[in-house]
Chains A and B, each alone.
Chain A
Amino acid sequence: MSAASDLSVSLRDFSANVRAEGRSLVLVLSGNADMAAKDSLDSLLPRMHAEALRIGVAEVQVDFRNLEFMNSSCFKSFVSWISEIGELERSKEYKIRLLSNAEMHWQRRSLHALRCFAVDLISVES
């Protein structure tokens, strides 16, 4: 069984850490999410999803504010996770809040694309 404290990735140029905050999980990303980060993110997001279901969170926040870049492979990891949430029974669904940095211009387009993919589940804040 996962605990939020076990959900972290630390690579040379990328890190991801999950912590619990009340009835939420907070995923903080930083660095450069490129091909080197893909496998770690592919492993982390399903485990975070399982933990979110286990503790019955209302929301998961994903903090992109210190993420310099995300490639399409890592973007796909988020698409798969969001798709999993969309397939849950209504009672188990949780919301996703994406925290963005207006100075990182790629985030406006990429996070908008994610929001449009699941508009009922996702909000974006800058």
Chain B
Amino acid sequence: MTEPPTSFELTFRPNVELISIVRRFVTDFYERMIEDRDTVSRIALATHELLENAVKYGSDGATFLSITFEPGDTASTVSIQLVNRANAEHIAALATIFEEMSRYDDPFAHYQIAMARTAKRKVGSGLGLVRVQAEGEMTMSYTIEDDRVTILAQTTVAARRSS
């Protein structure tokens, strides 16, 4: 019988210090559930980058984070969801990043292109979400509802600890 999903949710106003605290908590939490440390590292990286994204571009600071682990018969799925409010300019920038990501079949090739472009940038890196997709090996999607932005990053996991 498939086990029920395990999840945690956090609603807070992240700051620089809290983001790293949450990343460390996510690492500790998932190391007890997922055998593969590399997978846990990918989840932690994605969580950190998505939270920083929310800090940089959120309009009121309030952020909802949800991480769900759904065990399956052959593979499990981890879903990281971030919800925050953003202004029109940042929503448009987000749409541009996702549109560009959708044009590349190979996320790593896209990452390399984004790296070349960011080298001369004076403000921001533009790499956070692209890094989540390429290094985190996450499937990324987003939705907009008024000024509410939801970003979903998902990955599959091979095994779960038996304890």
Q: Which chain A residues have a beta carbon within 8 Å of chain B's beta carbons?
A: 13, 32, 34-36, 69, 71-73, 75-76, 79-80, 82-83, 104-106, 108-110, 113, 116-117
**Residues B19 and A72 in contact, CB atoms below 8 Å apart:** no
> How distant is A57 from chain B, measured CB to nearest CB, in Å?
21
User: Per a CB cutoff under 8 Å, which of B42, B44, B112, B125 touches A72?
Assistant: B125
User: Per a CB cutoff under 8 Å, which of A73, A79, A113, A117 touches B135?
Assistant: A113
Secondary structure dominating the interface of A: helix
User: Per a CB cutoff under 8 Å, which of B37, B40, B48, B115 touches A71?
Assistant: B48
- Knowing A34-B19, A69-B48, A113-B115, the reply to whether A106 touches B125 (Cβ < 8 A) is no
- Chain A's closest residue to B40 (CB) is A105
User: Per a CB cutoff under 8 Å, which of A34, A76, A109, A116 touches B112?
Assistant: A116
Q: Which chain B residues have a beta carbon within 8 Å of chain A's beta carbons?
A: 16-17, 19-20, 23, 37-38, 40-42, 44-45, 48-49, 52, 55, 108, 111-112, 115-116, 118-121, 124-125, 127-128, 131, 134-135
CB neighbours (8 Å) of A106 from chain B are 41-42, 44-45, 135
CB neighbours (8 Å) of B49 from chain A are 71-72
A-B pairs, 6 with minimum CB distance: A105-B41, A76-B125, A83-B119, A72-B127, A109-B135, A72-B128
> How distant is A96 from chain B, measured CB to nearest CB, in Å?
15
Q: How far is the CA of A71 from the CA of B50 in the complex (A)?
A: 11
**Residues B48 and A83 in contact, CB atoms below 8 Å apart:** no
A32, A36, A109, A110: most-surrounded residue (chain B CB, <10 A): A109
Q: How far is the CA of A82 from the CA of B119 in the complex (A)?
A: 8
- Chain A's closest residue to B117 (CB) is A79
**Residues A113 and B134 in contact, CB atoms below 8 Å apart:** yes
CB neighbours (8 Å) of B20 from chain A are 13, 32, 34, 69
CB neighbours (8 Å) of A104 from chain B are 41
CB neighbours (8 Å) of A109 from chain B are 42, 135
